[in-house]
Amino acid sequence: MKIGEYWNKFKKNWILSAIITGVIGLILLLFPGQALLSVTYCIGGLSIAVGVIRTVRYFKQDHSYPFLFQSDLVTGLLAIGLGLFMVTQPKSVMTLLPHIFGILMIGCGVGNILRAVDAKKAGFRLWGWLLGLAIVSVILGWLVLGNPFGAAEVVVAVAGGCMVYESITDLITTFVLQKKLKILKQAQA
């Protein structure tokens, strides 16, 4: 696959991911209480579904090659248990979700720091902006993770705002990289 084809596929996925992140962030920002409860129920329901699928697959498999699906029964039952806990005890789970958002923000920020370093190595002129935006993402993730605001709904709203910020940062990064690649293509032609 040529670099142009690879970039176009990567760019589409990155833009789609940024848009989805932004929409989820807006929902969390505007409706933190409802979003938190809904997310808890959705994840719980998905966990139950995945658990049932893995458990059924374990019992339907040909046991000639047990090493292929040996973990399906255990992971299936654990997923069902986790899902049932999430659906029956959503308040307990809701207190963990802001921390998960914080960890995700830090992870995305670190990934963007690495991209900024790669952009510098590649000679991108605006790599410093990318680095600055990435550092802000990490700081926002630490703030959400540290939960200085107290209430889970406030943290979820802040996490939503951070996700919107992360989405915008990813879109800016994509467009900056796209512009640089066009310049590089023109220089090679």
83 lies in some domain = no
Sign for the pseudo-dihedral over CA of 15, 167, 17, 29: negative
Mean pLDDT of 86-90: 90
Return d(Cα 62, Cα 72) in angstroms, integer.
13
40 lies in some domain = no
Given this model, what pLDDT does residue 45 score?
Answer: 92
48 lies in some domain = no
Structural domains of the chain, count? 1
69 lies in some domain = no
User: pLDDT digit string (tens) for 49-85?
Assistant: 999 998 888 888 766 655 555 677 788 899 899 899 9
Return d(Cα 147, Cα 52) in angstroms, integer.
34
2 lies in some domain = no
**What is the band of 94 on the pLDDT scale with cuts at 50, 70, 90?**
confident
| Structural domain boundaries enclosing 140 | 95-189
Given this model, what pLDDT does residue 63 score?
Answer: 63
54 lies in some domain = no
More confident residue, 65 or 126: 126
55 lies in some domain = no
φ, ψ of residue 147 to 5 degrees: the values are: 50, 55
Given this model, what pLDDT does residue 87 score?
Answer: 92
157: left (phi over 0), alpha (psi -120 to 50) or beta: alpha
150 lies in some domain = yes
Name the percent of the chain lying above pLDDT 70: 88
Other CB atoms closer than 10 Å to residue 79's CB: what's the count?
Answer: 20
Q: What is the pTM of this model?
A: 0.51
User: pLDDT digit string (tens) for 132-179?
Assistant: 988 998 998 888 777 655 557 777 788 888 888 888 888 888 888 788
